[in-house]
Structure 1
Amino acid sequence: MLFIIGMDKQHEHLMPLLETHCHRCGEVTQWHLWKEIEKASLFFIPVWRFAPDYLLVCEQCHDPVKLPREFGKALLEVGNHNDANQAELEALIDKEQHRSRIRP
């Protein structure tokens, strides 16, 4: 018996989120919030949708930074864009980009 199964990722642009420095391209640029959805299919029919991941993506070089799922959901709520969130996002970007430089 033959089964044709596959995985597919879809990306959805949600909103521009903040403007800060990107260590990869060296520019102060806009960062956008994206949602990444992974789906499993059987005979080309989607049968399972996994929980979405949220990414911050640099507008210039398109470097992605994965956000914790709950934090990504919280950013979508109206009026949840405050200075504390912006400071946390900048810290996540710095941490992730510096960690990716150290990897061999």
Structure 2
Amino acid sequence: MFFLMGFGNKENIIENVKFKCVNCTNENAKLIERANYFSLFFIPLFKFSKKYFIVCSRCNSIYKLKNESIKNILKTKNVYYDDVEGIINNGSICYNCGAKVDPKDTYCHNCGKKL
């Protein structure tokens, strides 16, 4: 008998939220969930190690959120400074691999993922 199983990670854009970016003062951001998952026959069975981020829609600044704040954020669609655990990057980077990119780029020059 032959089983195909494995582990991977995946990012999902959950929804748009309101947050005043400290870098560019834009108030629109995307709420992103990054989770590891276990799959069997290429079908994801369960997620673990969930982390949540917001990405500014103008300057691509990335903020890591506190996991305990997610329910309130999903309910109100607003993120406050108290919900932020830390700033990952305050500028234009690829949120997949962390490489610096030009804000005008559509794809990362390092990993090739869409920005």
Q: Percent identity?
A: 21
* TM score, norm. by length of structure 1: 0.59
What is the root-mean-square deviation in Å for CA atoms of aligned residues? Answer: 3.2
Q: CA deviation at 1:4?
A: 3.8
Return the alpha-carbon distance in structure 2 between the equivalents of residues 2 and 75 of structure 1.
39
Higher helix share: 1
* TM score, norm. by length of structure 2: 0.55
Q: Residue 80 of structure 2 aligns with which residue?
A: 86
For structure 1, the residue ranges without an aligned partner over 5 or more in a row are 99-104
Counterparts of 1:65-84 in structure 2, within 5 Å, are 65-78=63-76, 81=78
Counterpart residue type for residue 11 of structure 2: Q
Structure 2 counterpart SS, 1:77: helix
Return the alpha-carbon distance in structure 2 between the equivalents of residues 61 and 37 of structure 1.
20
Return the alpha-carbon distance in structure 2 between the equivalents of residues 50 and 63 of structure 1.
25
Q: CA deviation at 1:69?
A: 0.7
Is the Cα–Cα contact under 8 Å of residues 8 and 38 in structure 2 kept in the other structure? yes
Q: Residue 96 of structure 1 aligns with which residue?
A: 87
Q: Which has the higher contact order (CA 8 A, sep 6+)?
A: 1
Query: How many residues are aligned here?
Result: 88
